[in-house]
Amino acid sequence: MLKVLFLGGRDQGQLGELRQRYPGVAFAGAATEEDELREIVDADAAIGWPTDAHILAGRKLRWIHAGSAGIDWISQVPELVRSDIVLTNGRGSYGNAIADHCFAMILAFTRQLREFTADQQAKVWSGRNHAPNMLELSDATLGIVGLGNIGGEIARRGAGFRMRVIAMDLNPSAQAPGVEQVWGLDRLDDLMQISDYLAISAPRTPQTIGLIDARRLALMKPTAHLIAVSRGRIVEEAALIAALQEGRLAGAGLDVTATEPLPTDSPLWELPNVILTPHTSGASVQTRERSQNLLHENLRRFIAGEGLLNVCDKEAGF
């Protein structure tokens, strides 16, 4: 009988539902590391985020499914990278929510929504104060760094706002509806210069860490906004803070930061031209449904011996 272990635990109701749905599979949940290491010894698959200790203990492991879209955590699990274990992720579950979140941040800046919210709380009717600073998105240039599923959904929305959409991807053959051109890494500097709004949706890999550094930030228009919704450390945070403080960049919407939770002494908390959310851009009722549907389909495929969806390149990190 196949055994599937949920790392980090699973409530008994959910395990019961899975056992009814897949009667030929033994499902187990483990809430403590000690329980996990005991249960994983004879597990064929694990759902969650393993450590090297899990990989070494799991002598029968053939498949691991991590629900997140990013797999940058794999750099901390070299035993998994070296192994023959197949890793799948939640790619495709989060694009809609993250793209919506990206544009929520952009619109908060262009339509002065934070300022109007503050006035509402103060019971101030202040249209004349903020109206001169309000902007339209049509004909503005949206630059996208990373044209995967998330970047593609951001592009769709940009096209819907009649923006000019240009993307940079490490795979220059990447495509998405609404994208006018896709450039390779050699033209990232050009993208920094022309973007009115720059969305960072690339995965965090050794190649993308620090990709948006002080030199590249200095290429951006002082009227531009940067929106980061994939992973921290792709943008050099100290350089970004300096650009925002000195007025060399109009604003930034950050759902991800270099350190999470964001330290309380970070200047980002108090900068007036920053919108912060706590790495929640991918959250939605629909995201949970898609994630569960993906897991169930891969469970069905694993049981049937079929190819799995969303197989990751462990060496590349995505």
Active site residues: 231, 260, 279
What are 137's two structure tokens? 């998105």
What are 159's two structure tokens? 């096209």
170 CB neighbour count, 10 Å cutoff: 19
SS3 150: helix
| Residues whose CB is less than 8 angstroms from the CB of residue 136 and which lie 6 or more positions away in sequence, other chains included | 110
Backbone φ and ψ for 166, nearest 5 degrees, come out as -125, 135
Contact call for residues 85 and 62 (beta carbons, < 8 A):
yes
Give me the torsion for CA of 229, 116, 131, 155, rounded to 10°: 20
Residue spans of alpha helices (H) in the chain: 12-21, 33-39, 52-57, 78-82, 95-110, 113-121, 127-130, 149-160, 188-194, 214-217, 237-245, 285-304
- Could you say which DSSP state residue 272 is in? T
**Closest Cα partner for 107 from 200, 229, 235, 197?**
197
CA atoms within 13 A on the CB side of 200: 28
The secondary structure of 117-133 as a DSSP string is HHHHHTT---HHHHGGG
Contact call for residues 30 and 6 (beta carbons, < 8 A):
yes
